[in-house]
């Protein structure tokens, strides 16, 4: 096999774009009328020199607190990054099951017979792709810092900011209106904006259209933007920062895999982008946090690809209401989702498995319990926890929970923690 000489950023981006292109039309945005965001995880096999997209997610929506459920059946957050990560976890569970059943996996070594846990092979690593700069802090970019854009694309960015500025000037006081140069033109060092608002306890944005561009305060924890009811889902910038500290697999998988999994790189394709702002959002603001091994603040390579995502937001397009979840597993690899459930689910079906996504908390808990049973059988461990809730199992991941607690204590004090009743469900 000839070695691929393209930049890593283009290899990762192409893997995701080509995989998306090969999926059915259902669930994708209407070309030229709707836009979305794509995220994906690409697996690199260093032994073979191959790159394979193993999970994809599209989406820009999340539900408000009034629609959240305490049975684990609904997806609270359907932003692309979150869906891609959840689909990736489903892919990991599939390979864990293969290992425990003695079928082998190119990802994992054989389980440790004493602990029943697995280790990811040293020649496997992962890359996280996103078609657009993550919402929240990473999207707060001074215009002059935007890189990798054509002149026409930069002009569109400027026009978009001017439109937003005009809307702001209609509601702001004269004190907040922009200053003018001596020739009467506007003098701006403005910033690209995010719809995410600072969460309770953080400072509030001044939203001033001034020559200093002090509209947003960088570095704050923010919720995800939404119309109507305010969301209590953290921005993707905040979630990525968390994953760069405690890993991308979560509490339950930390009970089955010996070390946390971190991404080797994060790749963004052509869009408004600043490496400096990405660094600030994804690890600079948490770099002072000291975590106990095997956890520590990771700094994946930040890469930018000039390849264009075909469903990017251009002009006055509408966000696509549908989301796609896909992962490289043999059965039911693709789902189309709306409002946290499978597309087409009626109100009468909401309580049934037919409406439930394969990446919902309940579904992934079912995957965990199945694999956990194999693990316990191998190591002859106590079975007393079998009847415990999703929350109880997550709490039992002591090393993971200690790292997450320290991250919140030292840096993310105002992180929105959902009410514990949302995690108290058991298997159905």
Active site residues: 81
> Which of 122-132 are b and which e, b meaning 16 or more Cβ less than 10 Å from the residue's Cβ?
eebbbbbbbbb
DSSP assigned state of 135: S
Question: Among 165, 156, 152, 225, which residue's Cα sits nearest to residue 191?
Answer: 165
Please name the residues in contact with 23: beta carbons below 8 A apart, sequence gap of 6 or more.
56, 324, 326, 334
Please name the residues in contact with 118: beta carbons below 8 A apart, sequence gap of 6 or more.
96, 99, 108, 109, 110, 111, 112, 256, 257, 258
Exposed, middle or buried by CB within 10 Å (0-12, 13-18, 19+), for 406? middle
Angle between helical axes of 361-379 and 80-100 (0-180°, round to 10): 30
Alpha-carbon distance 137 to 236, whole Å?
9
Strands (E), 46-182: 50-58, 60-62, 77-79, 124-130
Rg, Å, the chain Cα set: 22
């Amino acid at each position: 096999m000839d070695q691929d000489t393209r930049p890593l950023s283009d290899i990762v981006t192409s893997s995701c774009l080509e995989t998306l292109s090969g999926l059915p039309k259902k669930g994708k945005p209407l070309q030229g009328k709707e836009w979305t965001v794509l995220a994906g995880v690409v697996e690199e096999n260093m032994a073979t020199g191959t790159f394979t997209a193993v999970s994809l997610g599209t989406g820009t929506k999340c539900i408000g607190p009034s629609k959240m459920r305490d049975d684990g059946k609904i997806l609270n957050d359907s932003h692309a990054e979150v869906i891609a990560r959840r689909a990736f976890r489903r892919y990991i569970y599939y390979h864990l099951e293969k290992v425990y059943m003695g079928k082998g996996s190119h990802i994992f070594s054989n389980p440790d017979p004493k602990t029943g846990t697995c280790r990811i092979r040293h020649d496997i690593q992962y890359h996280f792709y996103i078609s657009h700069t993550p919402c929240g802090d990473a999207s707060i970019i001074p215009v002059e810092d935007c890189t990798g854009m054509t002149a026409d694309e930069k002009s569109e960015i400027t026009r978009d900011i001017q439109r937003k500025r005009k809307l702001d000037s209609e509601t702001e006081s004269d004190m907040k209106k922009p200053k003018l140069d001596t020739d009467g033109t506007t003098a701006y060092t403005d910033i690209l904006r995010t719809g995410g608002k600072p969460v309770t306890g953080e400072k509030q944005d001044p939203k001033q259209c001034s020559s200093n561009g002090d509209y947003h305060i960088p570095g704050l924890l923010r919720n995800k933007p939404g119309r109507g009811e305010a969301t209590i889902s953290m921005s993707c910038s905040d979630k990525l920062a968390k994953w760069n500290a405690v890993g991308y697999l979560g509490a339950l998988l930390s009970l089955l895999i010996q070390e946390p999994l971190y991404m080797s790189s994060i790749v963004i394709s052509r869009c408004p982008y600043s490496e400096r702002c990405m660094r600030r959002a994804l690890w600079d603001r948490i770099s002072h946090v000291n975590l106990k091994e095997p956890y520590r603040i990771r700094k994946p390579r930040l890469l930018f690809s000039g390849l264009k995502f075909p469903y990017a937001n251009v002009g006055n397009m509408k966000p696509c209401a549908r989301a796609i979840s896909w992962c490289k597993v043999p059965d039911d690899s693709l789902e189309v989702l709306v409002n946290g459930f499978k597309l087409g689910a009626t109100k009468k079906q909401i309580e049934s498995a037919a409406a439930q996504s394969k990446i919902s908390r309940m579904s992934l808990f079912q995957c965990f319990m199945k694999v956990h049973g194999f693990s316990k059988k191998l190591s002859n461990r106590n079975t007393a926890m079998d009847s415990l809730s999703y929350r109880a199992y997550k709490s039992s991941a002591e090393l993971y929970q200690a790292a997450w607690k320290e991250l919140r204590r030292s840096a993310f004090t105002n992180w929105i923690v959902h009410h514990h009743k949302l995690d108290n469900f058991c298997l159905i």
